[in-house]
Amino acid sequence: MSADNETVLLDVPFFEKLDLEERRTLASQIETVQHPAGHQLFEVGDPGDSLYVLTRGKVEIYFKDTTGQRVVLETLGAGEFLGEISLLDAGPRTASVVVTEDMEAIKVDRQDLDALIRRHPHAALDLLAATGRRLRQTVGLLRQTASRNVNQEVEDTRTAVQRVADWIAEFSGSLTFLFLHLLWFFSWIMLNTSWASNIQIGWVQALTGFDPFPYGLLTMTVSLEAIVLSVFVLLSQSRQVAKDKIRSDIEYDVNLKAELEVAQLHEKVDRLHSEALARMERIEKLLTK
């Protein structure tokens, strides 16, 4: 069987850079596994420390996106491999794999890889080169993150007019804006009352009486200011509505992602429960014999 494994490894890109002696060392330690169609080989987040080289059958690699839709990344057949990332870093699985056609595969775990590198240290560079090539091929298949900053989504796209509109809308709702207008109205009315015309100071005399009661010029000025100000406020409010929509979309994505994570945990617990029951049944049958 070691010779067969050695031949299979020769056709696997992940191990194609190993020389004959290194390939023989690895082939003498690995084992063969078999699984029927429909078997869940592993799921996202499962602990993993092994790589599978298919010798027969097919498997499907997939994940669920932020909307819960199943996205198939790849369908692998005989001669292809999967699980190389977890083999190297012993981290959790980054995708789920289900057997679609009765599968037979060679399983290479970290102990096998460790024994190979101990005997042939330069084999590590060959494996890293193969891993880099595989990562370059799959770099475009990234899952969208749901956590985004709504302020960063909106602020960076504002034009100069929108920035001015936001400033005006913010300033018009402040106490400073109110006090400045009260001072303006008071001064205008005082300078246009009858008693101000009796003041004999030259520059004050020149400023008085230009808009007598009922203050038509003041009314027109305030009306024009209200029209311009309302336009800027409405423009700022429209941007705020768009900002709130982005915030709602982000909150929806976050909630949906959390819901999917909970659903995946339920699926994993159910799968582990069924596997535990199956093992208990096998143990019970062995004990009753």
Contact 180, 173 (CB under 8 A): no
Question: What's phi and psi for 118, nearest 5 deg?
Answer: -65, -40
Cis peptide before 47 (omega within 30 of 0): no
The CA–CA distances, whole Å, from 221 to 52, 178, 184, 211 equal 80, 16, 12, 12
Instruction: State how beta strands 50-64 and 81-82 pair.
Output: antiparallel
Q: pTM of the full predicted structure?
A: 0.44
**CA dihedral sign of residues 102, 98, 137, 30:** negative
Three-state DSSP at 209 gives coil
Greater model confidence, 141 or 166 = 166
Tokens (6 digits) for 129: 């080169």
Residue-averaged pLDDT of the chain: 76
Taking only the tens place, the pLDDT of each residue in 155-206 is 556 778 888 888 888 888 889 999 999 999 988 888 777 665 555 555 555 5
Residue 84 binned pLDDT confidence (cut-offs 50, 70, 90): confident
**Which pLDDT does position 144 carry in this prediction?**
46
- DSSP lists the bridge partners of residue 70 as 64
Residue spans of the domains in the chain: they are 2-144, 150-275
Domain at 2-144: CATH code:
2.60.120.10
- Taking alpha carbons only, the member of 214, 232, 106 closest to residue 166 is 232
- pLDDT of 40 over the 80 cut: yes
